[in-house]
Amino acid sequence: MTFDPFGDFETEGYLRNYAKENDLAIARRLEHSAFATGLDEAFRALAAVTHLAYDDVLNTHRILFNAVYPWAGQDRTQTAPDIAVSKGGVLFAHPKDIRGAVDFALKSGQDTSFMAAKPGEVMGYLAYGHPFLDGNGRTIMVVHSVLAQRAGFSIDWSKTDKTAYLTALTTELDTPSKGILDDYLKPFMRDAIAYEKLAGSMLQTPGLDGQSPDQNVVLGKTSEPAVQAQYEQQKLKRKSQ
């Protein structure tokens, strides 16, 4: 099923992209081209910020995807405030909880000791927030790479395996703060590389083109009792970890 939160896929294309392209494979290629082109600018913008905040995450997404989507840089509270979004069986944060999850990740990630010890936990909270309708994985990877660099290390993403990483990330989202994603990422920790080399290094990451078998899906309206029950069950499970 095509992810169509706006309900106008046939006339406006996938997520209202500027080209009005409704062939998902082509839309993904447009995304990847925009991402690769904007990557250096995104890292320069983040490098100029002393303390990263939520607006810097929004700006990173805007830089990376504004050539494709008119809503680039707008989070789900603006683009889809009343729908529940999931992917691969994972229910992402309720729109009203997006900022809290990302703020927690940024606060933790800018504690350099915490970041060095728990890079996967920081990544997990960024991923749980899932601020955008698309482009989340690439956006948070850019932000995470800057947090890591400031904590004195870099992740060698080129050596990671996409399937294994996504499996660890899914488990982290389901059972946070158990060290699952930390354990996966730590073997790939290296000495920090310079900002100007981060883009080139990231582009070597396998599977970064957005062509994933699992796509975002709309579970329903956040006001629906069944959806509210899923959010409540998720909240209780995450709190119990």
pLDDT tens track for 66-108 = 999 999 999 999 999 999 999 888 899 999 999 999 999 999 9
In sequence order, which residues have a C-beta less than 8 Å from that of residue 240 and are 6 or more positions away? none
Question: Which stretch of 22-31, 93-102, 149-158, 208-217 has the lowest confidence by average pLDDT?
Answer: 208-217
Check whether domain 9-240 has CATH 1.10.3290.10, yes or no: yes
What single-letter DSSP state applies at residue 125?
A: H
- Return d(Cα 116, Cα 110) in angstroms, integer: 10
Look-up of token digits 């944060």? 93
pLDDT at 240: 63
Residue 125 has pLDDT above 90, yes or no: yes
Residue 236 pLDDT:
82
195-203 average pLDDT score: 93
Instruction: Report the pLDDT averaged over residues 144-157.
Output: 97
Predicted confidence (pLDDT) at residue 239 exceeds the cutoff of 80: no
User: What single-letter DSSP state applies at residue 132?
Assistant: S
The residue among 211 and 107 whose pLDDT is bigger is 107
Name beta bridge partners: 87.
90, 216
Q: What is the pLDDT of residue 147?
A: 98
Q: What is the pLDDT of residue 237?
A: 78
The SS3 of residue 192 is coil
Give the pLDDT band (50/70/90) at residue 241: low
Domain coordinates of the chain in residue numbers? 9-240
Instruction: List, in sequence order, every residue forming a beta bridge with 218; answer none if it has no partner.
Output: 85
215 band by pLDDT with thresholds 50, 70 and 90 = confident
Pick the range with the lowest mean pLDDT from 114-128, 202-216, 222-236: 202-216
Joined tokens for residue 6: 């706006």
pLDDT grade, residue 64 (50/70/90)?
very high
pTM: 0.95
Output the average pLDDT for the chain. 94
Q: Is the pLDDT of residue 213 over 70?
A: no
Q: Which amino acid is at 212?
A: S
